[in-house]
Amino acid sequence: YGIDGKAYLEKIIQASFSLPKIDKLRLRRTLFSKLWVIGGESGFKENIWHEVMNVYFSGLDSLIRNPRDIIRVTNALNMTYPPVKSEIFSPDFVAIEFIRIFCPKLYTTIKSNKKYFAGPNDERHTDREELIKFHNAWLENIDEVN
């Protein structure tokens, strides 16, 4: 509507104050307890839980910055994980959901170009230069967190 979002909020919320930054360890504990509930009843076995943690600490940790981020991703997983839990590898699914929620441009790129990201080798492009060019192009156009 042509109104700056920050200016609009300042009209509604007239008192401003700073909140202390939440401890990263506390965020992780909260997230992991919620993930355990989602996966615990739905099939995260101990070895799978270990894999979920590996995926998380391999790149997803930086996406969780506040409690709202935890709510967003766990609400999504509560809806999307149970119907497919027996058909997928849980750690990969968790990673894809994080990407879908926090990096929608990257998610769209992956979804639209599956052959560049996954599948049997015979179905992927074998031209190494083309592959490198493709991946460099999307990497240059992706924000850190959309």
State the Cα–Cα distance between residues 63 and 44, nearest whole angstrom. 22
Tokens of 109: 């790129």
Q: What is the pLDDT along the chain (146 residues), one digit of tens a residue?
A: 577 877 777 777 777 778 788 999 999 999 999 998 888 755 576 678 889 999 999 999 999 999 999 999 999 999 999 899 889 899 999 999 999 999 999 999 999 988 888 766 655 556 778 888 888 988 888 765 44
Query: Rounded to two decimals, what is the model's pTM?
Result: 0.78
DSSP result, 76-105: HHHHHHHHHTTTS-HHHHHHHHHHHHH-HH
CB 94 within 8 A of CB 119: no
Provide the pLDDT for residue 55: 94
Tokens 């809806």 locate to: 79
